[in-house]
Amino acid sequence: MRIGISIQSAYRLSDPALAVRYMVERAEAARQADLDSLFVGDHHITDHAYLQNSPILGRLLAHWHNKPAGALYLLPLWHPVLLAEQISTLAAIAPGRLILQCGLGGLSHQSAGMGVDMRQRVAMFEDSLAIMRRLWAGETVSHERFWSIENAHIGPLPAQSIDVWVGASAPAAINRSARLAEGWLGTPATSPLQAKEQLNQYRQACAEHDRQPSAVALRRDIFIAGSAKAAADFRSTAVAKGYRGFPEEALVCGEAGAVAEQFADFAEAGFTDIIVRNMSSDQSQALATIEALSEVRRQLGW
C-alpha cells in the first residue's frame, strides 16, 4: 500500500504568503519522507484564506519528486474546457503522473456563490468528466446542455493519460465511481468498519461494471506523536472540540507503531492508498507528523 498526503490549503492567517510558505514546507517534508503522492483540495466562497488548487499545486510541484501528484476538483463548479486546460498544463509541469481527484461538492453556499444549481450536480459532474476526457484525447467538442461550448479544443494535450479518482461515500456515488473512474477515494469521516463496508460496495460495483481500478484510496486525518500519551491527549482535545464532526474512531492518532498497525489493517482490507491529512494546524506539529510517516513506512516495510 502507498501513503500519500493532501496538504492543507485553508489558513486563518493575516499574511497569505505565510500560508504559501507553510504549504511549501509541508510538501518538502513529504518529499523527504518519500511519500507516494501529493494532493491539494478544492473549496470556494470561504470566510478564510483558501489557496486555490491549480496555482498552488504548480508551486508545490517545484518541491516534489517524480511520484504522482494531483488535486481535488469539485467538477460542477468548474467550466470543463478551462479545467481541462489547467489539468493538461499541470500534467506538463509534473515530473510524474498527474491524478485528478474529483467530487460533486455538497455545500449549498459554495454552489450558489459559483452560480451552480445543486440539483444539477450529478449530471454536470458526468458531462464535465466526459467533455474533459474528449478534450484530452485531442477531440473538438461542442456542448449545449450546461455550458455553451462550440468547437472547443485544447493544447497542450497531456503526454500521459490522466487517472481519475472519484470521492464518494453514498451507495449511488460509489457505484458512479466504479462506472466512470480509474479509482475510488473514500471519505475521512468514516470509521474503519464503515470504510471497509464501503470498500466492499465499491468492489461489487466494479465487478458489475467489469472494471479493474488502478487505486482504492482512503483519506485519513492523522496526528503522530512521540508517545502514546501525547497522541491520546491530542485526540481527546480534538474530540472535545468536535473535530470536523468526525467520529472518534475515524481519527488516526498515535505514535508511529500504532499508526503503522492501523495502516496495515487497511492494507489487509484491500486499500491500495492512504491519503493523509494533518489534524493539527500548528506548523511544527504538522511537519513532525509528516516526518514521522517515514518511520511508519519503515515499520511496514513499504
Q: Is residue 277 part of a domain?
A: no
Mean pLDDT of 211-237: 97
Band of the pLDDT at 245, cuts 50, 70, 90? very high
Look at residue 260 and tell me whether its pLDDT is greater than 90.
yes
Look at residue 91 and tell me whether its pLDDT is greater than 90.
yes
Q: Compute the distance between CA of residue 112 and CA of residue 77 in angstroms, rounded to an integer.
A: 10
> What ranges in 100-255 are assigned the alpha helix state H?
108-113, 121-136, 171-180, 192-208, 228-240
Q: Is residue 296 part of a domain?
A: no
Of 208, 180, 200, 167, the closest CA to residue 270 belongs to: 200
Cell of 221: 486525518
Look at residue 86 and tell me whether its pLDDT is greater than 90.
yes
pTM for the whole structure? 0.96
**pLDDT number for residue 302:** 82
Determine if the peptide bond prior to 156 is cis (ω within 30°). Answer: yes
Look at residue 239 and tell me whether its pLDDT is greater than 90.
yes
Residue range 179-202, pLDDT digits in tens:
999 999 999 999 999 999 999 999
**pLDDT number for residue 106:** 87
Burial of 66 (0-12, 13-18, 19+ CB in 10 A): exposed
Cell of 62: 517545484
**pLDDT number for residue 108:** 93
CA distances from 243 to 51, 110, 132, 234, 281 (A): 22, 21, 36, 11, 12
Band of the pLDDT at 203, cuts 50, 70, 90? very high
Residue range 151-162, pLDDT digits in tens:
999 999 999 999
**pLDDT number for residue 11:** 96
Band of the pLDDT at 207, cuts 50, 70, 90? very high
Beta-carbon neighbour count of residue 142 at 10 Å? 10
Mean pLDDT of 118-125: 96
Q: Is residue 34 part of a domain?
A: yes
Residue 48 DSSP one-character state: S
Q: Is residue 33 part of a domain?
A: yes
Q: Is residue 227 part of a domain?
A: no
Residue 145 is part of a domain; what is its CATH number? 3.20.20.30
Q: Which domain holds residue 71?
A: 2-219
Total residues belonging to the chain: 302
Band of the pLDDT at 119, cuts 50, 70, 90? very high
CA distances from 74 to 113, 221, 241 (A): 14, 20, 28
Q: Is residue 243 part of a domain?
A: no
Residue range 9-46, pLDDT digits in tens:
999 999 999 999 999 999 999 999 999 999 999 999 99
Look at residue 289 and tell me whether its pLDDT is greater than 90.
yes
Residue 51 DSSP one-character state: -
Mean pLDDT of 143-156: 97
Instruction: Please state the domain count of the chain.
Output: 1
Of 213, 208, 166, 164, the closest CA to residue 186 belongs to: 166
Q: Compute the distance between CA of residue 127 and CA of residue 137 in angstroms, rounded to an integer.
A: 16
Q: State how beta strands 69-74 and 149-152 pair.
A: unpaired
Q: Is residue 77 part of a domain?
A: yes
Contact between 201 and 171 under an 8 Å Cβ cutoff? The reply is yes
Q: Is residue 158 part of a domain?
A: yes
CA distances from 20 to 31, 60, 91, 228, 277 (A): 17, 9, 21, 32, 17
Q: State how beta strands 141-143 and 252-254 pair.
A: unpaired
Contact between 277 and 5 under an 8 Å Cβ cutoff? The reply is yes
